[in-house]
Amino acid sequence: MEDARKYFGTDGVRGVYGGGLMNEDFAWRLGAAAARFALETGAAPGAAVIIGRDTRTSGGSLEQALAGGLASAGLKPLAAGIVPTPAVSLAVRESQAALGVVITASHNPATDNGIKFFGRSGVKLTDREELRIEQLLPAAGGPPNPAELPRYGAHVLYTRTVSALLPAGALRGWKIVLDTANGAASGTSRTVLEKLGAELVLVGNRPDGQNINAGVGSQHPEKMCAAVRAAGARLGIAHDGDADRCVLCDEFGEVLDGDEVLAMLAMRAVQTQRLVANTLVVTVQSNLGVDALLQASGARVCRTQVGDRYVIERMLSEGATLGGESSGHIIFSEISPTGDGLVAALKILEVMLAAGKPLSELRQVLKKFPQRSATLQVREKKPLASLRHLTAEIQAVEAELGTSGRVLVRYSGTESLLRLLVEGPAEIRVNACLERLLAAARLELEVV
């Protein structure tokens, strides 16, 4: 079914701050519409809405505007301040607030910002719920909230909850590099890891409002890797700007991808008989090696479209509690109802502590199928079905690979990017197939 949403993408509304979409007027309208939606779906007048944000300079004024819209429609906005996205999700679930809102553009540069919502269970809204908010948008904005917002201590609840995942002092004697991308976790992740006894080497921990994700964090792990090698650390942990993502490197400064992380977590759960529903949920982006590993262990893999909210929706429907994306969004729904970079890191540390082995050895559990991907920045996201040459080439490659491989071609939900992936039994064939797809795409799309 074609997506009817106009403003919401894979992870909320996102755009360049000050542009036609991400500005104070639209934030006010979005707040008013979200409040109308919450009241329409059972929230009581005056119910609380918890608002968190990352370290971008634009977050403060967007917060005031959003709060004005929420208040205008009869809800009570509360400010959680600068906190990771999962802290807001957890706070909403624990407090039974009407909504949670995070003002963030995640891994995007500081020039961007965004707004995403969580329902009363702490889970991101569905496509249908976001469409309903769009339908309730008022025609014009209004004044921002003039007073300082009441505070809600989401960071206290979050650090207390997450710290309890490992025994007190469990990381004493561990040297760890922590890169918080100059973002929302600059305080919380450090607090938790130091409380557990870790000796930290800090990267990307001096946010100034403009340097979020700038050459650091999960999108730029090079500094983390270099710091691990220089310090002789056991591993490196990197977040994105809102800390719902985790990228790790081993003791040699070699980056792990999310599939390796998921494989280690899933196999630990299988071995301890804690893989609920005997199921791991991943997206179509994950390597087929994950399926082979789980199937050989008597478990199963369910796949969904890209986006951690689609992962959690499938987890709920399957009764599973572990899932994630190869990009580093890992979800332990028994702990946090959304992707949580710090929880994922702590769970990997738990695996390391239990096995007594380094990451370089533990990551070998996953034998990946040859895979190659590419990204094209495009002028216009033309419907894929209208691209005759590309469609024909996709069908030809799929027929050639058969059941031993796969093709994935999709647009990014947040950027003007076409993403292509080919996976198969032999690297030479995979490379050739991807080049054929790229050539076909360039025939019909204007590449920037």
Type of residue numbered 159 = T
The set of catalytic residues is: 106
> DSSP of 355-390, one letter per residue?
HT--HHHHGGG--PPPEEEEEEEBSS---GGG-HHH
Cα-based angle 361, 367, 368 (whole degrees, multiple of 5): 125
- DSSP β-bridge partners for residue 447: 378
Q: Would you say 185 and 232 are in contact if contact means Cβ atoms under 8 Å apart? A: no
Distance CA 259, CA 102 (A): 27
Q: Given its phi and psi angles, is residue 83 left (phi above 0), alpha (psi -120 to 50 degrees) or beta?
A: beta
**One-letter identity of residue 147:** A
Q: Which fold has domain 172-249?
A: Alpha-D-Glucose-1,6-Bisphosphate; Chain A, domain 3 (3.40.120)
Is 206:182 a contact under the CB 8 Å cutoff?
yes
Domain at 371-444, CATH class: alpha beta
Query: What fold characterizes domain 13-154?
Result: Alpha-D-Glucose-1,6-Bisphosphate; Chain A, domain 3 (3.40.120)
8 Å CB contact between 232 and 314: no
Cβ 214 vs Cβ 183: under 8 Å: no
Digitized pLDDT (tens) for each residue of the chain, 448 residues in all: 457 899 998 889 999 999 989 999 999 999 999 999 999 999 999 999 999 999 999 999 999 999 999 999 999 999 999 999 999 999 999 999 999 999 999 999 999 999 999 999 999 999 999 999 999 999 999 998 878 899 999 999 999 999 999 999 999 999 999 999 999 999 999 999 999 999 999 999 999 999 999 999 999 999 999 999 999 999 999 999 999 999 999 999 999 999 999 999 999 999 999 999 999 999 988 998 999 999 999 999 999 998 888 999 999 999 999 999 998 999 999 998 899 999 999 999 999 999 999 999 999 999 999 989 999 999 999 999 999 999 999 999 999 998 788 999 999 877 889 999 999 988 999 999 999 999 999 999 999 9
CA 244 distance to own-chain centroid:
5
Cα separation, 376 vs 234, whole angstroms: 36
- pLDDT computed for residue 402 by the predictor: 85
- CATH topology agreement for domains 172-249 and 371-444: no
pLDDT value, residue 1:
44
Alpha-carbon distance 367 to 173, whole Å? 31
Query: Looking at residue 2, what is its pLDDT?
Result: 57
Angle of helix 85-95 versus helix 341-355 axis, rounded to 10:
100
pTM here is 0.89
**CA distances (Å), origin 433, targets 389, 423, 428, 441, 444:** 14, 9, 9, 13, 18
Where in the chain are the domains? 13-154, 172-249, 258-365, 371-444
Look at residue 413 in the predicted model and tell me its pLDDT. 77
Q: Which residues contact 258 (CB under 8 A, 6 or more apart)?
A: 247, 286, 324, 325, 326, 327, 328, 329, 330
- CATH ID of 258-365, from 3.40.50.10210, 3.40.640.10, 3.40.120.10, 3.40.50.800: 3.40.120.10
Q: How far apart are CA 82 and CA 51, in angstroms?
A: 9
How far is the C-alpha of 34 from the C-alpha of 66, rounded, in Å? Answer: 10
Query: In the chain, count of helices (H) and strands (E)?
Result: 14, 16
